[in-house]
Amino acid sequence: EIVMTQSPATLSVSPGERATLSCRASQSVSNNLAWYQQKPGQAPRLLIYGSSTRATGIPVRFSGSGSGTEFTLTISSLQSEDFAVYYCQQYNNWPPETFGRGTKVEIK
Protein backbone atom coordinates (compact mmCIF):
# COMPACT_ATOMS: atom_id res chain seq x y z
CA GLU A 1 0.00 0.00 0.00
CA ILE A 2 1.34 3.40 -0.96
CA VAL A 3 1.65 5.86 1.92
CA MET A 4 0.93 9.51 1.19
CA THR A 5 2.58 12.09 3.44
CA GLN A 6 1.35 15.67 3.46
CA SER A 7 3.19 18.67 4.87
CA PRO A 8 2.82 20.81 6.75
CA ALA A 9 -0.03 19.54 8.91
CA THR A 10 -1.18 23.14 9.41
CA LEU A 11 -0.39 26.16 7.28
CA SER A 12 -1.14 29.67 8.55
CA VAL A 13 -1.61 32.14 5.72
CA SER A 14 -2.99 35.66 5.42
CA PRO A 15 -5.75 36.37 2.89
CA GLY A 16 -4.26 37.34 -0.45
CA GLU A 17 -1.04 35.44 0.18
CA ARG A 18 0.21 32.38 -1.66
CA ALA A 19 -0.12 28.92 -0.10
CA THR A 20 2.02 25.95 -1.05
CA LEU A 21 1.03 22.47 0.12
CA SER A 22 3.18 19.38 -0.34
CA CYS A 23 2.35 15.72 -0.81
CA ARG A 24 4.88 12.91 -1.03
CA ALA A 25 4.26 9.31 -2.08
CA SER A 26 6.18 6.36 -0.62
CA GLN A 27 6.80 5.15 -4.19
CA SER A 28 6.18 6.56 -7.62
CA VAL A 29 2.55 7.17 -8.55
CA SER A 30 3.40 8.74 -11.95
CA ASN A 31 0.95 11.65 -12.32
CA ASN A 32 -2.00 9.75 -10.84
CA LEU A 33 -2.56 12.21 -8.03
CA ALA A 34 -5.68 14.11 -7.01
CA TRP A 35 -6.33 16.93 -4.55
CA TYR A 36 -9.51 17.54 -2.58
CA GLN A 37 -10.76 20.41 -0.45
CA GLN A 38 -12.91 19.83 2.63
CA LYS A 39 -14.58 22.59 4.60
CA PRO A 40 -15.94 21.97 8.11
CA GLY A 41 -19.15 19.96 8.06
CA GLN A 42 -18.98 19.44 4.32
CA ALA A 43 -18.03 16.63 1.99
CA PRO A 44 -14.70 16.77 0.18
CA ARG A 45 -14.65 18.40 -3.26
CA LEU A 46 -12.36 17.39 -6.11
CA LEU A 47 -9.95 20.19 -7.04
CA ILE A 48 -7.21 18.64 -9.17
CA TYR A 49 -6.65 15.30 -10.91
CA GLY A 50 -3.84 13.99 -13.05
CA SER A 51 -1.54 16.03 -10.82
CA SER A 52 -2.31 19.30 -12.61
CA THR A 53 -5.75 19.30 -14.26
CA ARG A 54 -8.35 21.44 -12.56
CA ALA A 55 -11.75 19.84 -12.04
CA THR A 56 -14.88 21.46 -13.41
CA GLY A 57 -15.59 24.84 -11.87
CA ILE A 58 -12.35 25.11 -9.90
CA PRO A 59 -10.86 28.62 -9.95
CA VAL A 60 -7.57 29.21 -11.74
CA ARG A 61 -5.90 30.28 -8.49
CA PHE A 62 -5.65 26.55 -7.68
CA SER A 63 -2.81 24.79 -9.47
CA GLY A 64 -1.13 21.42 -9.08
CA SER A 65 2.26 20.15 -10.13
CA GLY A 66 4.63 17.25 -9.72
CA SER A 67 5.09 13.66 -10.78
CA GLY A 68 6.59 10.51 -9.38
CA THR A 69 6.73 10.98 -5.64
CA GLU A 70 6.64 14.74 -5.08
CA PHE A 71 3.56 16.90 -5.63
CA THR A 72 2.49 20.44 -4.84
CA LEU A 73 -0.83 22.24 -4.61
CA THR A 74 -0.53 26.00 -4.90
CA ILE A 75 -3.23 28.52 -4.11
CA SER A 76 -1.98 31.72 -5.69
CA SER A 77 -3.95 34.26 -3.64
CA LEU A 78 -5.94 32.91 -0.75
CA GLN A 79 -9.56 33.91 -0.54
CA SER A 80 -11.66 33.60 2.61
CA GLU A 81 -13.47 30.59 1.18
CA ASP A 82 -10.19 28.71 0.68
CA PHE A 83 -9.52 28.14 4.37
CA ALA A 84 -10.12 24.42 4.66
CA VAL A 85 -8.40 21.04 4.87
CA TYR A 86 -6.73 19.73 1.71
CA TYR A 87 -6.12 16.05 0.99
CA CYS A 88 -4.02 14.40 -1.69
CA GLN A 89 -4.90 10.96 -3.04
CA GLN A 90 -2.93 8.58 -5.23
CA TYR A 91 -4.66 6.32 -7.70
CA ASN A 92 -1.73 4.70 -9.45
CA ASN A 93 -1.51 1.57 -7.29
CA TRP A 94 -4.90 0.16 -6.37
CA PRO A 95 -6.68 -1.05 -4.45
CA PRO A 96 -6.54 0.74 -2.21
CA GLU A 97 -6.57 4.27 -3.44
CA THR A 98 -4.85 6.05 -0.55
CA PHE A 99 -5.16 9.53 0.90
CA GLY A 100 -2.76 11.71 2.81
CA ARG A 101 -3.68 12.87 6.31
CA GLY A 102 -4.44 16.38 5.14
CA THR A 103 -3.12 19.92 5.46
CA LYS A 104 -5.25 22.45 7.27
CA VAL A 105 -4.98 25.95 5.82
CA GLU A 106 -5.92 28.45 8.49
CA ILE A 107 -6.11 32.20 8.71
CA LYS A 108 -2.95 33.83 10.01
Per CB under 8 A, contacts with another protein among 15-74 are 32, 34, 36, 42-46, 49, 55
Segment interacting with another protein (CB under 8 A) among 17-25, 58-66, 68-76, 83-91:
83-91
Contact of 72 with 65, CB cutoff 8 Å: yes
Minimum CB distance to another protein smaller for 83 or for 87:
87
40 to each of 23, 44, 55, how far by Cα in Å? 21, 10, 21
Three-class SS state of 80: helix
Q: Is 89 in the site for another protein (CB under 8 A)?
A: yes
Among 62, 83, 86, 87, binds another protein (CB under 8 A): 87
Q: How far is the CB of 60 from another protein (least distance, A)?
A: 19
Short-list 92, 101, 103, 102, CA closest to 2? 92
DSSP state of 1: -
Q: What angle do CA 77, 41, 31 make, to 5 degrees?
A: 55
The size of the interface with another protein (CB under 8 A), counted in residues, is: 23
> Which positions touch another protein (CB under 8 A)?
32, 34, 36, 42-46, 49, 55, 87, 89, 91-92, 94-102
